[in-house]
């Protein structure tokens, strides 16, 4: 306990799924957590469950002014920003032939634009208070071929490149700010449950604790434990990395030797 004691964190897309798991784990480890999401009902529920260590703010991550206001408010009230988890994201099934322009723009705006604006306003705030860490939620869709979610894969590829650019920029300028990306395989979240039959061609989704690899899915805490490590000072020498949490799926696909 206490691995994030005294730290202030923003987690986007925290009303459910991976963001919710991150928020609960961060609070248990001593952080003050600002959860953001468009889903106000579930966001307030999660913050209420966590208690005094958490608060919820409604946020559309596509809105640049909203990002500027959010970070300024957090710094004004809490004195600093130590951790940003750019977790918010959406997926719309579609191949390069079937994905519509509207779906493409929506997925890119929430995932890629949201991560860009988050980094843009977190870096100056972290620099002013002596450093921090940014964790960008990616996917192995940026590593392996995922034909049925082309816009999602493209957005995650953009985030992976953004992560490296931010890491090198901050290192070159000696800001003491680290930026890493996390690349899960399928994780049993509400989003995956909703699209599973379309994308995976099956509806028998189950967590890894209930079935053998590779058919089973990971659980939210499998990712939250990795996010926690990257958010903590234990990972102080990890910067610009793309961390795969995929139970060897990318290796089995032959992408990573």
227 with 197: CB under 8 angstroms?
Answer: no
Confidence grade of residue 191 (pLDDT, cut at 50, 70, 90): low
Confidence grade of residue 249 (pLDDT, cut at 50, 70, 90): confident
- Counted residue by residue, the chain has a size of 257
The two three-digit tokens of residue 104, written as one number:
């493409």
pLDDT of residue 196: 58
Euclidean distance between CA atoms 146 and 142, whole angstroms: 8
All residues at 6 or more sequence positions from 245 whose CB lies less than 8 Å from its CB, including other chains = 182, 183, 184, 185, 218, 222, 223, 226
Report the candidate in 71, 35, 69 with the shortest Cα–Cα distance to residue 50: 35
> How does pLDDT run across 66-86, given as a tens digit for each residue?
999 999 999 999 999 999 999
Q: What is the mean pLDDT of the chain?
A: 90
Q: Mark whether 152 is an active-site residue.
A: yes
Report the candidate in 163, 66, 78 with the shortest Cα–Cα distance to residue 123: 163
Catalytically annotated residue among 104, 121, 152, 175 = 152
Using alpha carbons, list the distances in angstroms from residue 198 to 7, 10, 108, 202.
Answer: 40, 32, 20, 8
Distance of CA 67 to the CA centre of its chain: 16
CA angle 197, 189, 154 (to 5 degrees): 75
pLDDT of residue 201: 53
Higher pLDDT, 68 or 253: 68
**pLDDT over threshold 90, residue 200:** no
Report the candidate in 231, 245, 209, 191 with the shortest Cα–Cα distance to residue 86: 231
Per the CATH hierarchy, to which homologous superfamily does domain 8-185+220-244 belong?
NAD(P)-binding Rossmann-like Domain (3.40.50.720)
Mean pLDDT (whole number) for 168-192: 88
């Amino acid at each position: 306990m206490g691995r994030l004691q005294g730290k202030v964190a923003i987690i986007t897309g925290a009303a459910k799924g991976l963001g919710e798991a991150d928020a609960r784990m961060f609070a248990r480890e001593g952080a003050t957590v600002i959860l953001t999401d468009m889903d106000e009902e579930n966001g307030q529920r999660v913050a209420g469950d966590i208690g005094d260590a958490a608060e919820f703010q409604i946020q559309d991550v596509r809105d640049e002014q909203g990002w500027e206001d959010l970070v300024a408010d957090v710094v004004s009230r809490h004195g600093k920003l130590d951790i940003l988890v750019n977790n918010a994201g959406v997926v719309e099934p579609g191949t390069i032939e079937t994905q519509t322009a509207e779906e493409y723009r929506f997925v890119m705006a929430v995932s890629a634009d949201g991560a860009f604006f988050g980094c843009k306003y977190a870096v100056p705030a972290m620099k002013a208070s002596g450093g921090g860490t940014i964790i960008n939620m990616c996917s192995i869709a940026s590593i392996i071929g995922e034909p049925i979610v082309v816009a999602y894969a493209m957005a995650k590829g953009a985030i992976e490149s953004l992560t490296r650019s931010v890491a090198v920029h901050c290192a070159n300028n000696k800001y003491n700010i680290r930026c890493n990306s996390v690349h899960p395989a399928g994780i049993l979240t509400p989003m995956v449950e909703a699209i599973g039959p379309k994308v995976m061609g099956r509806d028998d989704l189950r967590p890894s604790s209930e079935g053998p690899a590779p058919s089973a899915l990971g659980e939210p805490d499998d990712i939250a434990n990795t996010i926690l490590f990257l958010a903590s000072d234990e990972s102080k020498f990890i910067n610009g990395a793309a961390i795969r949490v995929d139970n060897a799926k990318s290796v089995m696909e032959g992408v990573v030797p």
